[in-house]
Amino acid sequence: GMNVTMPHKDSVAEACDALSATAARLGAVNTVVWHGDALVGHSTDGPGLVAALQDLGVAYGPDRPVLVVGAGGAARAAVYSLGQHDVPVSVAARREEPARLAAELAPLGRAVGWPDTPLAAQALLDDHALVINAIPLGMGDRDRAHPFERLRWREDQVLYDMVYWPAETSLIRDVRARGGQAHNG
């Protein structure tokens, strides 16, 4: 088998012979395995996120709304898995249609406007207890300012950065420096 990362999760899903139910629902895979002569795509990002949040003791639930930043394969997996736990999930993405489609994966999901100013980003942040970053800003050569950097984070607010390399992104450093909690995915 093999693991798949951005930006290939959607196109690899299309190339698989079969998809798990979750991967089919999301239209994205992060793991491909041989089953006989068939390549079967799976999406484990969402359950992995939920397990990581539980291991870290990060609270989520009906009274702790979550903001997912992005609408790609990892973001959709996060929205879908959190939605199965009755979590109100907001989705912010640069394009309105992908944000709306991702938000529809959670019963309590809603698309919100992309925060194109620091004031809009702060207002969006203030309404959420947990922020899941599922966009590649901060990863390798994409290391430019993230819309949620340089904001006021409360000590009870948590960032979970699904970016896996580098281990400590500029966003993680910034959130910790400004009073919030931050974890790497």
52: number of Cβ within 10 Å: 15
Pair 129, 158: CB distance under 8 Å = yes
Q: Which residue has the tokens 């919100």?
A: 112
* Among the listed residues 77, 99, 101, 70, the one whose alpha carbon sits nearest the alpha carbon of residue 20: 77
State the residue for tokens 């942040």.
125
Give the whole-angstrom CA distance, residue 183 versus residue 168: 9
Residue with tokens 């959420």: 128
DSSP class of residue 94? Answer: S
Buried b (16+ CB within 10 A) or exposed e, 68-85: bbbbbbbbbbbbbbbbee
Among this protein's residues, is 131 annotated catalytic?
no
Rg (CA), the chain: 16
The number of beta carbons lying within 10 Å of the beta carbon of residue 140 is 9
Catalytic position from the list 9, 42, 76, 146: 9
Q: Which active-site residues does the annotation give? A: 9
